[in-house]
Amino acid sequence: MVLEQAKVLSKLTINFIKVHSRHCVDEAELAEHVAGLTYSLASCQFRNKLTGLSVNTNGSLIPKSCVDKDMIKKSPWLKALVATPKVQPLFAIAMWKKYPTMKSLLHVNMDPSKSVGDKISFIFPGFNAG
């Protein structure tokens, strides 16, 4: 059964000009080949390396009149707050000033002795959770 599956998968190989193709004889060789292709794709030179601090701010609306654009660009944590959907830059900056690190925000948010309403009021003062 496994050999039949490997044969079917090997027949799915594309044979166009300048497209890599290979006929694998068994499942182990096929798995090794797919792993190699995946590794090659992940280490392509044209692709930016991803890090733990990689934050994509495409789609976040930063008004052109926003005075704090440079500050947003320099701080990965502030950039992540601005990139959060439906969070305006003004509120993101206010949160960033009150909670300068993700750890400080999580410390408040993960406190088991506080209710959800209390947590929301700590993060967003003046917001009525009820």
Would you say residue 28 has pLDDT above 70? yes
Rounded mean pLDDT of 67-71?
76
The 10 Å Cβ neighbour count of residue 89 is: 20
Burial class (CB in 10 A: 0-12, 13-18, 19+), 27: middle
Q: Are 113 and 88 in contact (CB under 8 A)?
A: no
Would you say residue 42 has pLDDT above 80? no
How far CA 83 is from CA of 4, 51, 52, in Å, comes to: 48, 16, 15
Start-to-end CA distance of the chain, whole Å, equals: 60
| Per-residue model confidence as pLDDT tens digits over 2-26 | 667 666 656 655 444 455 566 777 7
* Axis crossing angle, helix 76-83 with helix 89-98, rounded to the nearest 10: 140
pLDDT at 36: 79
